[in-house]
Amino acid sequence: MKEQKAKHQAIHTRCFEVLTDLSYSSLFLIWTGLVLLFAFGYFFFATIGNIANHGPEVLVNNENPIHRLLNALYFSIITATSTGYGDITPRGISKALAALQSMSALFVFAIFVTKLVAHRQEIALREVHRLTFEDVFHNIREGLFVVRKDFDGLIEKVDAKEELVQEDWDTLIIAYKQTQSLIAEIPDFYDSLNHLYTLDSRREEMLHEAVHRTLHRINHMLDAFSKNGISWIDNERSMNELQELMNIVKTATPIWQQKSPYEKQEAFADILRLKDSVLKRIEKAL
Cα–Cα distance, 175 to 178 (Å, whole number): 5
For residue 38, being part of any structural domain is answered with yes
**pLDDT by position in tens, the chain (length 286):** 556 656 656 665 666 667 667 777 888 888 899 999 999 988 888 887 666 677 787 777 777 888 888 888 998 998 888 887 778 888 888 888 889 988 888 888 888 887 777 777 777 767 776 677 778 888 999 999 999 999 999 999 999 989 899 999 999 999 999 999 999 988 887 765 555 556 778 888 999 999 999 999 999 999 999 999 988 998 999 999 999 999 999 999 998 988 888 777 899 999 999 999 999 998 887 7
For residue 64, being part of any structural domain is answered with yes
For residue 86, being part of any structural domain is answered with yes
Amino acid found at 7: K
Q: Do 42 and 154 share a structural domain?
A: no
Cα–Cα distance, 74 to 67 (Å, whole number): 10
Q: Do 137 and 84 share a structural domain?
A: no
Q: Which range marks the domain in which residue 280 is found? A: 125-285
For residue 28, being part of any structural domain is answered with yes
CATH at 178: 1.20.58
Q: Tell if the pTM clears 0.75, that is, is over it.
A: no
Q: Do 147 and 198 share a structural domain?
A: yes
Q: Do 139 and 61 share a structural domain?
A: no
Cα–Cα distance, 153 to 29 (Å, whole number): 69
